Amino acid sequence: MNSSKITPESIAASKGRTRIAALTAYDFPMTRLLDQAGIPLILVGDSLGMVVLGYPDTTHVTLEEMEHHTRAAARAKPRALLAADLPFRSYETPEAAVANARRLVAAGAEAVKAEGGLDIIEQVRAIRNYGIPFLGHLGMLPQHVLEEGGYRVKGKQEAERQRLLADAEALVQAGAFAIVLELVAAPLAAELTRRLPIPTIGIGSGPDCDGQILVTPDLLGLLPWFSLKHVKPRLNAAEQMRAVVQEWKRSVEAGSGAKAG
């Protein structure tokens, strides 16, 4: 097994060679498990707001919470590239973007991600000029879910398609090493993948991207109270965990729960 450290440059160089399987992690054990499984890109996502902290959406996540979880993930010292999300309203100016990206790097992130294209391009340039690797995010932007009134597929209309093409090109020019495409219409995601010199990493954007990313609890079936169209759980972990806990509870009540073995 190749034990060399995965870098933004090696992720970018995988374009057209190796598809990227990326997942999220929010703590030490999951980061270590995903790294042992060979996942090359691990994201400490602001999705932790919903899947760990119980918030209704990602707009409630603070920079301090992102730092806390990034530090926990970084303690696993993964071979994978460890990226972290800049949370809502933490990159409204180039100065804020650099200052807060530096805080995530100090916590252990090796790259940062922010949502948007042309509207944040000065922030992206500032982050890159400081030497911090940048992962783009286009399409459905969860940090804008309240103003947009929900989640929907992007890029079906021509004007939206043209905007996404321009956003993607701007991110490339600003120095992004890859771009996450969330809920982008599959034909447009395929077109972007063909056009761009850097990898596209899809989530709910069809099969033709250079890679795919999922929220790990969604993949493992850890959140049965959420039903998502773009992901089919590969494991019913919540039910298995519930069954084990109930079996142990019964053994405790029967007086056998403390036995060795």
Domain ranges of the chain: 8-219
C-alpha triplet 21, 29, 90: angle, nearest 5°: 70
**1 pLDDT above the threshold of 50:** no
Across 223-245, average pLDDT: 79
- Measure the CA–CA gap between 228 and 233, rounded to whole angstroms: 9
pLDDT at 228 over 70: no
Contact 115, 141 (CB under 8 A): yes
Give the N- to C-terminal CA distance of the chain in Å, as an integer. 34
Assess whether pLDDT exceeds 60 at residue 249. yes
* Alpha carbon distance 47, 191 (integer Å): 27
Q: Which fold has domain 8-219?
A: TIM Barrel (3.20.20)
Stretch 183-209: mean pLDDT: 97
pLDDT at 227: 67
Mean pLDDT for the stretch of residues 211-222:
94
- Quote the mean pLDDT of the chain: 93
Q: What is the pLDDT of residues 143-155, one digit of tens each?
A: 998 777 677 889 9
Instruction: Write out the catalytic residue numbers.
Output: 182
Position 209: which residue type? C
